[in-house]
Chains A and B, each alone.
Chain A
């Protein structure tokens, strides 16, 4: 027996815990199955997929992290662009990048197909790591070191846009990542000519 015909504005007399009609039961079952797919995809991708925001995460003192990054940039410095060091660490190395208002430090030069451990953190406020044009995005939080294992898949001259509001100069905060292929051929698909000369090449 169905409930008496009524709208959602009317109080319901008697007991409303009645069996649902088949159409609703079927839809609930399908929707439930789909929700399980939605859930299962996430663990599945950790197992089989190549892109996961896992990394290792630990707390750091922002100043200590900053110092570590400067040491890293000095150690692997191969050139300079716009006053920023270009660091070219060997494959497998720990790579340090720091966000500070309003700069990404240092410039990174990586090799295609090699794996690195990319550390992200901030010296001051929240920043947003957004690798252009791939749109790879991570939140960069002061006091937290986010270490992600990354393997660049194509050579190119990439940018890091800051996509978390970090103050009034937020929109000027752009960094640079150069990915070269194995032969270390210089890559410069940059529109601004002055940049073509910049870098280690």
Chain B
């Protein structure tokens, strides 16, 4: 496809990594495809918030449901997964100084994924797949819709396979010494989960495709829901693993975050795989197909070890940043390391916002509403999208944006365009999304349904009178949505301008700030020569448990208290319902 370059590798001026040019091109095309999907999804998002904001109520019913399907597919599937493909190519080759396995096959997989996405897109826009992205049968879409999803998934699975092959190559050709870096380990976790996910994908989409062709008489609606969420939920675990890997990466690049303990962090990644919630029971807690024992076991496997894993990363990521900063001399007080952190570096602000909103909002609401009984008050209300926008958007998407600010100069060799805008973009996007999530969550707690065109029920036989507070919350959602979409479009403008019309940058001079280059590249956060001694001293037993990272200990304590309050408040609210058993 592409003629082999004379020099297959170049050396990265900032990090010294050996970058394979073929792999670099694969990173680029996948990232560009992700941004295109984000654009479509963001325009759809604007239309959706302006419709759900009942005072505006923009779209007609048919288009609301259609665009809702478009938004779900473009954001959750195409944007996120294309970006993850870019992450896999990047982590497998650049971070390991390796060549990619079978790059041509990588182009083939990319082509498969693009054609699958285009098929889905054309079915949705032409109204032949008005089934939302979950496509629960017996709602039926055109066969090409399911085929598109299958093609996309096959392509993705191919790339995952190539990632593993690249790991083998790197190991065999000894491109690195010792164990692979933690970030690559995290990416590998994501890739392993991706295999589990895509197998479920095959189990659910292939029969459904055959059914839509008339070759199978029926697909059991409950079995479909079970298998679909085995795909749909596991894929969220891919997102979490990829996001956490990016947290460690951005921490390292922006503030020299250290890995406190490899055993702890790596074991937490392994827990993601072991406790992946194969049956994704928390989506089926109020479904008629399964009994209480099944539901309890499959949400928690008796121990909630995936939650534990996230709580561990929620400690080790900020603690690693704190320690990294302290080792570099920012030792004043509890939070001097935070106060004096590079808040103007969009890679850093995106990282912090991602960690905080994912943890405090997404994590706490997720565990709470995924509790068997509490789910009775939450299922299919707006609280559900309120929760998952905090995880997959404020968390995952935000971290991907932060990573992009570093990928642009490192991989695309371009300055970040509209640099001033780039510095505020993470704040704008995160604040807007937070308002969306708050608005949805509070409106949802009044029983406002998700996936619903008209909560004034003007065409319904019986009236439903929501509390006037709901109008307020939907307005917060609406205004937040406009801000968030502005943030997303700013990101797209920055990415597109940089990639296609950006100023080339091939060299960074240490200590010289450069417009359009994140601080972590011009002022790399290096640790002092005596870092190891400092580290030992800070961990001296005499300094007690809070010795090395006192600030983080305070932060996680606040987190735990917030978690407990929210969790038990929801149990209390449950008691106001009918008796149900």
Contact = CB atoms under 8 A, between A and B. Distances in A.
Given A51-B577, A130-B449, A134-B578, A139 B288 contact: yes
B463 A195 contact: yes
B375 A53 contact: yes
B252 A8 contact: yes
B315 A24 contact: yes
Contact of A23 (B62, B249, B375, B549): B549
A38 B567 contact: yes
Contacts of B264: 20, 24, 28
Given A54-B291, A137-B381, A172-B460, A9 B260 contact: no
B215 interface: no
Contacts of B266: 16
Interface stretch (B171-179, B233-241, B339-347, B397-405): B171-179
Nearest to B464: A159
Contacts of B296: 39, 42-43
B182 A23 contact: no
B307 A50 contact: no
Given A52-B373, A130-B380, A120 B288 contact: yes
Contacts of A190: 463
A5 B248 contact: no
Given A36-B303, A168-B61, A3 B262 contact: yes
Contacts of B249: 8-9
B304 A3 contact: no
Contacts of B292: 46, 52-54
Contact of B95 (A9, A38, A130): A9
Contact of B446 (A14, A43, A135): A135
B371 interface: yes
B579 A151 contact: yes
A143 to B, nearest CB: 6
A53 B292 CA distance: 7
A150 B261 contact: no
A175 B222 CA distance: 24
A171 B453 contact: yes
B125 interface: no
Interface stretch (A66-74, A91-99, A121-129): A121-129
Nearest to B268: A28
B50 to A, nearest CB: 16
B302 A136 contact: no
A152 interface: yes
Among A5, A145, A148, A174, the one with the most B-chain Cβ atoms within 10 Å of its Cβ is A5
B380 A164 contact: yes
A97 B563 CA distance: 37
A18 to B, nearest CB: 6
A76 interface: no
Contacts of A150: 578-581
A31 B319 CA distance: 16
B545 A23 contact: yes
A4 B319 CA distance: 16
B460 A174 contact: yes
A190 B463 CA distance: 8
B547 interface: yes
Contacts of A23: 319, 545-549, 553
Given A24-B315, A165-B65, A141 B289 contact: yes
Contacts of B463: 190-192, 195
Given A31-B311, A52-B372, A126-B136, A18 B263 contact: yes
B8 interface: no
Contacts of A139: 225, 284, 286-288, 379-380
Contacts of A42: 296, 299-300, 371-373
A154 B300 CA distance: 34
16 contacts: A5-B258, A7-B324, A9-B95, A11-B176, A52-B372, A135-B378, A135-B447, A135-B577, A137-B378, A146-B287, A150-B580, A153-B577, A153-B578, A163-B380, A165-B132, A167-B139
Closest 6 CB pairs of A and B: A146-B288, A8-B248, A7-B252, A163-B449, A16-B262, A8-B182
Interface of A: 2-14, 16-24, 26-28, 30-32, 34-36, 38-39, 41-43, 45-46, 49-55, 57, 82, 84, 115, 120-121, 124-126, 128, 130-146, 148-153, 159, 161-168, 170-176, 190-192, 195
Interface of B: 15, 61-62, 65, 95, 130, 132, 136-139, 176-183, 186, 220-222, 225, 245, 248-249, 251-253, 256-266, 284-292, 295-296, 299-300, 302-305, 307-308, 311-312, 315-316, 319-320, 324, 327, 367, 371-373, 375-381, 445-447, 449-455, 457, 459-467, 527, 531-532, 535-536, 539, 541, 544-549, 553, 556, 560, 563-564, 567, 571, 574-581
Given A8-B265, A38-B371, A151-B578, 12 more contacts: A2-B539, A13-B179, A49-B373, A51-B580, A52-B581, A57-B291, A134-B576, A138-B376, A139-B225, A139-B284, A159-B464, A162-B449
